Chain A
Amino acid sequence: MSHLKTEIRKRAEELVTLYPERRSALIPLCHLAQEQDGWLRPEAISEIGELCGVTAAEVKGTATFYDMLHTEPVGRYVVAVCTNIACLLGGALELLVHAESTLGVRAGGTTPDGVFTLHEAECLADCDKTVCVQVNHRYVGAQSPETFDALLDDLRAGRLDEAVPPHGTLVRVRRSVGLQVDGAVVAAERAKEAEAKTARAAATSGAGENKA
């Protein structure tokens, strides 16, 4: 029984075919699973492992390396306040303190109603608009303690729903083309290649032994 819903599962299978080795789809599939659940549920982690040909532990081990992949639930809106050097010079620490007191959580925490997770971010590469804030990885323009509360109000009221998709939805543009040929043909070719590679590796190691 698939944990990923039919449409997500189908997109996941398509993604796997784009790569010469299916493990490469691991991070894109984690993003997809988060699009469905908002975070990486253990069932999703297992299924990604099956799709990528690795164990669930390897998926989790990889996912925990990356800031954007969550192995625990986060709020509907992940509010990332950059405090790195350019934003620091633009008053980021003051904004972070303000955000913490307004939301009533420390950086890293989620509000009890599950709406907001506050994240102290590293540089988000929009440094001419300080203090740089992203909500669900969408830029919301330069922020200050004066503008921040209105931003939260807009988010709560759904006024930014168009600009800020739900947490986990990274990319709304789908690849319009698959590989140039039928997915099954690609899979068969890849299996043949892998077999040949294994055979070559065996031959090479055999040759090595002979030399020794």
Chain B
Amino acid sequence: MAITEAPKIVTARLDHGDSHTLERYLATGGYSGLRKALTMTPEAVAAEVDAASLLGRGGAGFPAGRKWSMLRKNPLTYLVINGDESEPATFKDHMLIEGDPHQILEGVLISAFALQVTQAFIYIRGEFALGLERMQQAVNDAYAHGAVGTNIFDSGFSVDVVVHPGAGAYICGEETALLESLEGKRGFPRIKPPYFPAAIGLYGEPTVVNNVETMANIPWIVNNGGAAFAALGAGRSTGTRLFALAGHVRKPGNYELEMVKTTFRDLIYSPLLGGGIRGTNTLKAFIPGGVSAPWFGPDQVELPLGQDEVGDAGSMLGSGSIVVMDSGTCMVRAAWRITKFFSRESCGQCTPCREGSGWLERIMYRIENGDGREEDLDLLMDLCDNISPGVAWPPQQTTICVLGPSIPSSIASGIRMFRDEFLVHVKEGGCPFD
């Protein structure tokens, strides 16, 4: 296992200080993928994406090509891009939106052509004020360049792209909540079924929702062919992927790596990547795919960065965010803060999530602050079981969306891996790390 020579697909341009401008984009091959796509049939473009086996980069990892094929029969459709990146410690989409908005936009335009959709929306998290400006500027410039609007590049195809701001709500990253938000409502996830907006989406019409990193891969796939993309990685995890590395490493940051070929050890310790644990401490645990994912310990660093590989080991690659916690970390405090996040961001529709997250947060708080009881550990697990029966992975669900079953991950991981640390908090009446 090592860092491979795989090409940079989505980060190639980011070393340039002006990577967000149309000039730089055009000077580095920008919009050639769109021009090529427009000479092909929509079906042929979709076939390339299908051949790439591109898994959605938002968190669920659903194949983009299959999402698209659900839509092709229906005439009235919208394309909605999810740029509401809010999963804690995930900061890859933020980088792409600010750093290379044209690449995302070109992916959107190619996708719109493949799906024969004439209206696309790019929903961007409200807190990304600069990202919203960069994306709007990109759309403005692309209009002037003839890549968006009526009869783009004289192809006869017309498409409009609207950049839409969110307003601060984690739940709007859930695709049906995002659609509600885009309709001007509270971000309440919709009841399933239907499971996919391809059936009933924006304004009740067939809609496809894709993540911005997914879109950023599309121009390369069209230029180089789906087969070239699928040749990278292994198994179901094809291509490269952005991994957002945060926490106690020397060099946190976003790293684009070939899927499966690199391990968590490479990512955390390689001098070219994370550079190892900060200071003199050692690795205590890491979260492999966003705070909804169960934690891993030092004995799992050899696992490759692949969707199925991580899934089979009992967690998920999720949003592609890896949080490294060193030996000086209080695991009770870490799990408490994650639980507090879910409690604040629960939309409030479903009782297990709305009430359960608050109860869990308060119990975790009292343990961390020295007021915990030994039986609290069982109480925590009992509550987790009420939210997600069995507290297993993949989790069972008692709620409309997956926010609920994501809540137990950190607490269950903390108690499973660091039970003694919880008990020390209780017995000593306080946090031993203070």
Interface, chain A (partner B; CB < 8 A)? 18-21, 23-28, 30-31, 52, 54, 61-63, 65-69, 83-86, 88-89, 122-128, 130, 134, 136-139, 170-177, 179-180
- In the bound complex, do residue B166 and residue A123 qualify as a contact, i.e. CB atoms below 8 Å apart? no
B3 close to A (CB within 8 Å): no
Given contacts A122-B88, A125-B91, A127-B252, is CB(A84)–CB(B126) below 8 Å? no
Q: Which residue of A lies closest to B337 (CB)?
A: A88
Given contacts A24-B182, A85-B88, is CB(A171)–CB(B136) below 8 Å? yes
CA distance A136 to B160 in the complex (A): 30
Most buried by A among B129, B163, B181, B248: B129
- In the bound complex, do residue A128 and residue B323 qualify as a contact, i.e. CB atoms below 8 Å apart? no
- In the bound complex, do residue B127 and residue A180 qualify as a contact, i.e. CB atoms below 8 Å apart? no
27 inter-chain pairs at a CB distance below 8 angstroms, sorted by A residue, are A21-B183, A24-B183, A25-B184, A26-B185, A27-B126, A31-B126, A62-B184, A65-B169, A85-B89, A85-B287, A85-B338, A89-B325, A125-B91, A125-B125, A128-B91, A128-B245, A134-B127, A171-B133, A171-B136, A173-B137, A174-B136, A175-B136, A175-B140, A176-B144, A177-B143, A179-B160, A180-B150
- In the bound complex, do residue A122 and residue B345 qualify as a contact, i.e. CB atoms below 8 Å apart? yes
Given contacts A88-B337, A170-B132, A173-B137, is CB(A28)–CB(B165) below 8 Å? yes
Which residues on A sit within 8 Å (CB–CB) of B91? 125-128
- In the bound complex, do residue B140 and residue A69 qualify as a contact, i.e. CB atoms below 8 Å apart? no
CB of B413 to closest CB in A, whole Å: 13
| Count of chain B residues near A, Cβ 8 A | 68
CA distance A52 to B344 in the complex (A): 29
Which residues on B sit within 8 Å (CB–CB) of A172? 133
- In the bound complex, do residue A177 and residue B140 qualify as a contact, i.e. CB atoms below 8 Å apart? yes
Contact pick for A88, options B126, B321, B334, CB 8 Å: B334
B300 close to A (CB within 8 Å): no
Which residues on B sit within 8 Å (CB–CB) of A61? 186
Which residues on B sit within 8 Å (CB–CB) of A19? 162
CB of A124 to closest CB in B, whole Å: 6
CB of A36 to closest CB in B, whole Å: 16
Which residues on B sit within 8 Å (CB–CB) of A88? 333-334, 337
8 Å CB interface, B177-212 against A: 181-187, 203
B390 close to A (CB within 8 Å): no
Given contacts A27-B167, A66-B167, A126-B94, is CB(A138)–CB(B129) below 8 Å? yes
Given contacts A28-B165, A84-B89, A138-B129, is CB(A175)–CB(B139) below 8 Å? yes
- In the bound complex, do residue A125 and residue B90 qualify as a contact, i.e. CB atoms below 8 Å apart? yes
CA distance A68 to B166 in the complex (A): 9
Which residues on A sit within 8 Å (CB–CB) of B203? 20-21
CB of A11 to closest CB in B, whole Å: 13
CB of B229 to closest CB in A, whole Å: 26
- In the bound complex, do residue B337 and residue A85 qualify as a contact, i.e. CB atoms below 8 Å apart? yes
- In the bound complex, do residue B165 and residue A31 qualify as a contact, i.e. CB atoms below 8 Å apart? yes
- In the bound complex, do residue B93 and residue A127 qualify as a contact, i.e. CB atoms below 8 Å apart? no
Most buried by B among A20, A52, A171, A174: A171
B170 close to A (CB within 8 Å): yes
CA distance A169 to B126 in the complex (A): 11
CB of B131 to closest CB in A, whole Å: 9
CB of B402 to closest CB in A, whole Å: 17
- In the bound complex, do residue B143 and residue A176 qualify as a contact, i.e. CB atoms below 8 Å apart? yes
CA distance A66 to B345 in the complex (A): 10
CA distance A81 to B219 in the complex (A): 37
CA distance A126 to B344 in the complex (A): 20
Given contacts A24-B184, A67-B167, is CB(A125)–CB(B85) below 8 Å? yes
B158 close to A (CB within 8 Å): yes
Q: Which residue of A lies closest to B137 (CB)?
A: A173
Contact pick for A128, options B126, B182, B183, B253, CB 8 Å: B253
B341 close to A (CB within 8 Å): yes
Contact pick for A85, options B130, B158, B323, CB 8 Å: B323
With A65-B347, A85-B341, A89-B246 given, can you name 13 additional A-B contacts, CB distance below 8 Å?
A20-B119, A27-B167, A28-B165, A30-B167, A66-B187, A84-B291, A86-B323, A89-B329, A123-B90, A127-B246, A130-B252, A170-B165, A171-B165
Which residues on A sit within 8 Å (CB–CB) of B164? 24, 27-28
CA distance A127 to B254 in the complex (A): 10
- In the bound complex, do residue A86 and residue B341 qualify as a contact, i.e. CB atoms below 8 Å apart? no
Contact pick for A27, options B162, B166, B252, B254, CB 8 Å: B166
CA distance A50 to B87 in the complex (A): 35
Which residues on B sit within 8 Å (CB–CB) of A63? 167
8 Å CB interface, B315-337 against A: 321, 323, 325, 329, 333-334, 337
- In the bound complex, do residue A170 and residue B129 qualify as a contact, i.e. CB atoms below 8 Å apart? yes
CA distance A175 to B126 in the complex (A): 17
Most buried by B among A20, A68, A127: A127
CA distance A52 to B337 in the complex (A): 38
B149 close to A (CB within 8 Å): yes
Which residues on B sit within 8 Å (CB–CB) of A124? 127
B247 close to A (CB within 8 Å): yes
CA distance A86 to B253 in the complex (A): 12
Which residues on A sit within 8 Å (CB–CB) of B183? 21, 23-24
Task: Across the A-B interface, give the 9 residue pairs with the lowest CB-CB distance, nearest first.
Answer: A67-B168, A26-B184, A66-B167, A68-B168, A128-B252, A23-B184, A86-B246, A123-B88, A127-B246
8 Å CB interface, B77-132 against A: 85-91, 93-94, 119, 125-130, 132
